[in-house]
Amino acid sequence: MKAFMDKDFLLKNETARRLYAAAETMPIIDYHCHLNPQEIAENIQFRNIGHLMLGGDHYKWRQMRAFGIDEKYICGDASDYDKFLAYARMLPAAIGNPLYHWTHLELRRVFGIEDVLNEASAPSIWERANALLATDEYRAKGLIRRFNVEVVCTTDDPIDSLEYHKAIAQDGAFATRVLPAFRPDKAINADRAGFKEYMQKLSEVSGVEIRTTSDVIEALGKRVEYFHACGARISDHGLDSVPHACFDRAKADRALAAGLLGHAVRPEDLDAYRTLVLVGLGEMYHKMGWAQQYHIGALRNNNKRMFERFGPDIGFDSVSDAPFARDLSRILDAQDANASLPKTVLYCLNGTANSVIGTMTGNFQGDGIRGKIQFGSGWWFNDQRDGMEDQMKTLANVGLLSNFVGMLTDSRSFTSYPRHEYFRRILCNVIGTWVENGEYPDDWDTLGEIVQGICFNNAQRYFGIEL
Whole-angstrom Cα distance, residue 316 to residue 190? 23
Beta carbons of 159 and 202 less than 8 angstroms apart: yes
**The pLDDT of residue 170 is above 80:** yes
Q: How far apart are CA 168 and CA 176, in angstroms?
A: 9
151 and 31 in contact (C-beta within 8 Å)? yes
Distance (Å, whole) CA 265 – CA 267:
6
pLDDT of residue 347: 97
Averaged pLDDT, 170-182: 97
Distance between CA atoms of residues 313 and 458, nearest Å: 30
Check pLDDT > 80 for residue 400. Answer: yes
Domains belonging to the chain, first-starting first, are 14-44+140-463 (3.20.20.140), 45-138 (1.10.2020.10)
Paired with 348 in beta bridges are 296
Please write the tens of the pLDDT for every residue from 330-363.
999 999 998 999 999 999 999 999 999 999 999 9
Burial of 158 (0-12, 13-18, 19+ CB in 10 A): buried
CB 153 within 8 A of CB 31: yes
User: Which pLDDT score is estimated for 467?
Assistant: 76
- The confidence score (pLDDT) of residue 332 equals 98
Q: Which pLDDT score, from 0 to 100, does residue 299 have?
A: 96
Mean pLDDT of 168-178: 96
- For the segment 269-277, the average pLDDT, to the nearest whole number, is 98
The whole-number pLDDT of residue 25 equals 95
Chain mean pLDDT for the chain: 97
**Percentage of the chain exceeding pLDDT 90:** 98
pLDDT above 70 as % of the chain: 100
Identify the pLDDT of residue 18: 98
- Helix, strand, coil percent values for the chain (each to nearest 5): 55, 10, 40
**CA gap 333, 376 in Å, rounded:** 19
Nearest residue to 412 via CA among 30, 47, 26, 136: 30
Residue whose C-alpha is closest to residue 132's, from 168, 150, 106 = 106
Alpha-carbon distance of 85 to 323, in angstroms, equals 42
Confidence of residue 65 (pLDDT cuts 50, 70, 90): very high
Beta strands 343-348 and 318-319 are: unpaired
pLDDT tens-digit map of 289-316: 999 999 999 999 999 999 999 999 999 9
**DSSP annotation string for 121-143:** THHHHHHHHHHHHTSGGGSHHHH
Split at pLDDT 50, 70, 90, the class of 178 is very high
Contacts (Cβ under 8 Å, ≥6 apart) of 75: 61, 310, 314
Can you tell me the distance from the alpha carbon of 449 to that of 460, in angstroms, rounded to the nearest whole number? Answer: 14
- Kindly indicate the confidence band of residue 24, based on its pLDDT and cuts at 50, 70 and 90: very high
Per-residue pLDDT tens digits for 432-467: 999 999 999 999 999 999 999 999 999 999 999 887
Q: What residues pair up with 319 in beta bridges, in sequence order?
A: 298
Spatial distance between the Cα atoms of 396 and 199, rounded to a whole number of angstroms: 43
Question: What sections of 91-235 are H helices per DSSP?
Answer: 98-111, 122-133, 140-146, 163-169, 185-188, 195-206, 213-229
Order of strands, edge to edge, in the sheet holding 149-153? 28-30, 149-153, 177-179
* Band of pLDDT at residue 103, cut at 50, 70 and 90: very high
Average pLDDT over residues 29-50: 97
Which residues is 298 bridged to in the sheet? 319
How far is the C-alpha of 86 from the C-alpha of 73, rounded, in Å? 7
Residues 6+ apart with CB under 8 A from 127: none
pLDDT at res. 466:
81
Hey, how many other C-beta atoms are within 10 angstroms of the C-beta on 60? 23
pTM over cut 0.75: yes
* Predicted local distance difference test score (pLDDT) of residue 338: 86
Tens-place pLDDT, residues 107-118: 999 999 999 999
